[in-house]
Structure 1
Amino acid sequence: MSTTKAPFLPFIHHYADLGETYSLAVQPQQVEGSELVDVNTLELNNIDLEGSAEVTAILAKILACEWPNDRRLPVAMNYSGHQFGQYNPQLGDGRGLLLGEINTERGLIDIHLKGAGVTPFSRGGDGRAVIRSTIREYLASIAMRGLGIPTTGALAMAVNQTSVYRETRERGATLLRTATTHIRFGHFEGLYYRNQPNELKCLADYCISQQFNRADIPPGDYRKWFQVIVAQTATLIAKWQAVGFCHGVMNTDNFSIAGETLDYGPFAFLDDFDPQFICNHSDHTGRYAFDQQPTIARWNLAALAQALSGLIDDHDLIKAVRSFDSQFELAYRNEMTIKLGLGAVSQSLRSSLIEEWLTLLAKLSVDYTLAHRALAGALDSDDQFSAFFHHQELAKNWLGRYREALGDIDPEQHRETINRHNPAYILRNYLAQGAITAAENGDFSFLKALKTCLANPYDSVVGYEGFAGPSPGWAKSICISCSS
């Protein structure tokens, strides 16, 4: 009898090898009538795999939760975290499984399956995912990747006939995603609050050795490692703020130690610019409002610092956390400088123009994405630019200062700069809902068309100009909950 294993993805299992303190092996629970919806070939290429028929067939089986008997089982990761500011001692992967890592030219990449059934950390839940949450995360990951924002990746998704009960009965879905690592701030919090210092040190050593932060950190240099986490988090949040992305549930268990956007739940991209916008129906106090995201990121870093206090001197921890504000401000100003095409303008003048621009957008409550895209025509006629705004006189006043600052720059060069750094396409909630509604009726063409635009958001796609328009009035009040 042949002992040759059937073709499969080349998983290795470094994290699982750490032992049961950190994760528990789980057999995926098969679903009924699984249908492969889409494979993201761009993400497949990122993990050095080609979209061959063989690889596609393997992905379809994984998404159907069919796990080969001759392969090592996936694991559910064990972590805790602060949720809306309150510590929850037991969270963990309640509906997700780490299948293993794949070695690529970029280093190790996690492959993770969502919706595969009950795990030891499901806390009474069914461990399943539904079509709407799966499509939202799939498209959001593609959108963020297209925008150049560090994120988990969307590899493939499937729908199935397994009934899942949330507010009502819904169809199930499964998602394969990638990440530099799925280790979160909450992993370290759990070990800290369970008084497991040796295990915490082991995990920190593992993170440094695996170079998740893509930084040359000497073994045992926990201070440097934490400084890199702070810096990468500051850069990430600056990119969120610049593009108008609202995460919606910035709990410490949703924060990656690799500085990647993790866990897309009630997220949103801004429509009309409102700094105090709240995208999460469950966020009754506005803790995670758009303008609070930098503050919350610093709070989360302080929570991680507390967990690492047995490894790093308190003075160094405090200094690193306090450095977040200046690093964020610098990164944010750089992002906005690029968005507004102000690279050749003096620092003091560009800061003034950015502040005045944001004040103008908030005062007139105009579409955040379209306003930046409109800057491409700022050197054309006054009427063409100011027609975008409700109060043309305020817009003309700012435009005059903006043109003066730009000097004699070539209008075509300016147009190219603006369009290269300000997306035509973002994942507006009503577009995501359109893809969900169509998919729930068995039509995935909307999803695939939207995916095409989001993967290359700076280039207008013929035939899909409608995706680049503003949200209709009724859609601007869409509010998403944490329901999965």
Structure 2
Amino acid sequence: MFEQEASATVGDKVGWRFEDTYARLPEVLFVPTAPAPVKAPRVAVLNHGLAGELGLDLEAISEEAAARLFAGQDVPAGARPIAQAYAGHQYGHFTMLGDGRAILLGEHRDPSGRLVDVQFKGSGRTRYSRGGDGLAVLGPMLREHIISEAMAALGVPTTRSLAVVATGDVVYRETPRQGAILTRTAASHIRVGTFQFAAGIGEPDVLRALADYAIERHDPELADAPDKYRAFLSAAVDRQAALIARWQNVGFLHGVMNTDNMAVSGETIDYGPCAFMNAYDPRTVFSSIDRGGRYAYENQPGIAQWNLARLAEALLPLLDPDQQKAIAIATEVLEEFPERFESYWLAGMRKKLGLQTAELGDLDLVRSLLDWMHTMGADFTNTFRDLASDEPPAGDRFQDPEFLAWHARWRERLGREGDRAEAFALMRSVNPAVVPRNHRVEEALAAAEQGDDLSVMHDLLAALASPFEDRPEHAKYREPPADDRGYRTFCGT
């Protein structure tokens, strides 16, 4: 009783306003699950900026209390911890899954009235662990914190990290590692795979309840629409087209675009084997388990459409009682994806080149630059940033005749935009000076895991918080590695 009262007091001080809306859905979609006990929780990082956006005050409690809170040892009042069920096509193969190492505390109501999921990752076994230990280790959880905060600063819709806590427990992977728990926030954790699970169990009422809930969370304006399920599918298609375009515009690669890692909210989710591209190559793959290049940079728009086709299949019973009519509706919506994606992608690329108007030759202008970058092995981030000035870019590769011809063509096109200074200002506002370079991320993780030194990570986070500002003290974060062609990322399980 004393621990419950203490937990409620801590929650009141922080400012939690928990609801349990997902836990009111049919019980087949989740299972009540308590976070596992941990040995000696301590804070690795608290995201005070995000907490403020959520209406939370983490400074109102001690660091020890925060460690217990975010290790799941003091569950806040109003939270109803559950593990969610879902399915997924993993590298094209269908599997019934679920939260094997994650627990949803519930939904926090932020100051704007928006519901935000709060989830622990690495908090122990659940019914869906499939023989796994349900735990996470410090390095991958800090990676998710770093990359998600970088993505948020870059303007890419993303889940966020509120805290990372070291548990004091040893977790065994290839070697003994430090255990850790990430607290992730999201618009929701409803995935394409959640709908695949609901459709797969063959209970129409469950599928309808899930779809109605997702519409209420993400598209409430569609609730009374006569064709709301078609409209919901269309909205999901549009969100994914915009999302993939946004992350490709900054050179990001998602390493595991399985259907269980595609959120219908349109937020990026799961930062395991992901990375930012250095030298531009559309065939780039970083994930250690993607040996066939299924999720290579150039394949990601097509994979997104493939994943959305799996969402459409799950929704068929809701689109029309006649299966052939339902298939026709779904097909019509899915065929909108390529045009929507190219529209978002090209709009982003125009801004990267300082263009605010549209001309027919713009697509060829962009592709010509990318082709040259690929041939020369030019750095994706730095090339666009270097163009954002009246001064010609410095460096031998920029004296290449092919580039000089392209540059003259681009400057002629830019001249039709009007104010050149305004164009360069636009370019600097969308072309980052700093992204989480893979070698800098690894440097920060190694210092944290091997030397118990978090200062390297905090310095990196400070640079990533203002990615469009070219500050002298952040110059080292602009430098690509000498060679990262063998670089691989791992899922952390």
TM-score by length of 2: 0.92
Unpaired runs of 5+ in structure 1? none
Asked if structure 2 preserves the Cα contact closer than 8 Å seen for 1:213 and 1:259, the reply is: no
Q: Secondary structure at the match of 1:465?
A: helix
Residue 124 of structure 1 corresponds to which residue in structure 2? 131
Equivalent of 1:7 in 5, 10, 18: 10
State the percentage of identical aligned residues: 35
Q: CA deviation at 1:412?
A: 3.7
Q: CA deviation at 1:319?
A: 0.6
Residue 366 of structure 1 corresponds to which residue in structure 2? 378
Counterparts of 1:20 and 1:150, CA distance in 2: 30
Counterparts of 1:315 and 1:229, CA distance in 2: 17
Residue 154 of structure 2 corresponds to which residue in structure 1? 147
Equivalent of 1:317 in 323, 330, 333: 330
Unpaired runs of 5+ in structure 2? 320-325
Counterparts of 2:257 and 2:431, CA distance in 1: 25
Q: CA deviation at 1:411?
A: 4.8
Instruction: Call closer, same or farther: CA 1:356–1:215 in 2, change over 3 Å.
Output: farther
Alignment of 1:216-227 (within 5 A): 216-218=222-224, 221-227=228-234
Aligned amino acid, residue 468 of structure 1: R
Equivalent of 2:405 in 388, 397, 400: 397
Residue 444 of structure 2 corresponds to which residue in structure 1? 435
Alignment of 1:2-401 (within 5 A): 5-8=8-11, 9-54=16-61, 59-68=66-75, 72-88=79-95, 90-104=96-110, 105=112, 107-210=114-217, 212-213=218-219, 216-218=222-224, 221-312=228-319, 313-344=326-357, 346-377=358-389, 379-381=390-392, 385=393, 387=395, 389=397, 392-401=400-409
Q: Secondary structure at the match of 1:272?
A: coil
Q: CA deviation at 1:193?
A: 1.6
Residue 419 of structure 1 corresponds to which residue in structure 2? 428
Instruction: Call closer, same or farther: CA 1:17–1:430 in 2, change over 3 Å.
Output: same
Q: Secondary structure at the match of 1:309?
A: helix
Q: CA deviation at 1:106?
A: 5.3
Counterparts of 1:386 and 1:401, CA distance in 2: 18
Aligned amino acid, residue 419 of structure 1: R
Aligned amino acid, residue 445 of structure 2: I
Q: Secondary structure at the match of 2:109?
A: strand
Counterparts of 1:419 and 1:109, CA distance in 2: 32
Aligned amino acid, residue 169 of structure 1: P
Q: CA deviation at 1:72?
A: 4.7
Deviates more, 1:56-65 or 1:1-10: 1-10
Q: Secondary structure at the match of 1:178?
A: strand
Q: CA deviation at 1:388?
A: 5.7
Counterparts of 1:152 and 1:180, CA distance in 2: 7
Counterparts of 1:215 and 1:414, CA distance in 2: 36
Counterparts of 1:207 and 1:299, CA distance in 2: 20
Q: CA deviation at 1:461?
A: 3.6
Instruction: Call closer, same or farther: CA 1:228–1:56 in 2, change over 3 Å.
Output: farther
Structure 1 vs Structure 2 CA RMSD: 2.0
Counterparts of 1:294 and 1:39, CA distance in 2: 34
Equivalent of 2:458 in 448, 471, 477: 448
Q: CA deviation at 1:469?
A: 1.6
Count of residues in Structure 1 that have an aligned counterpart in Structure 2: 476
Deviates more, 1:318-327 or 1:58-67: 58-67
Deviates more, 1:52-61 or 1:237-246: 52-61
Residue 457 of structure 1 corresponds to which residue in structure 2? 467
Asked if structure 2 preserves the Cα contact closer than 8 Å seen for 1:254 and 1:262, the reply is: yes
Aligned amino acid, residue 95 of structure 1: R
CA displacement 1:294-351 (0-9 Å, x = unmatched): 000000000111111100122111111110011001111101011111114x421322
Q: Secondary structure at the match of 2:19?
A: coil
Counterparts of 1:134 and 1:245, CA distance in 2: 18
Asked if structure 2 preserves the Cα contact closer than 8 Å seen for 1:39 and 1:56, the reply is: no
Counterparts of 2:225 and 2:106, CA distance in 1: 24
Q: CA deviation at 1:208?
A: 1.3
Counterparts of 1:201 and 1:162, CA distance in 2: 42
Q: CA deviation at 1:7?
A: 3.1
Q: Secondary structure at the match of 2:10?
A: coil
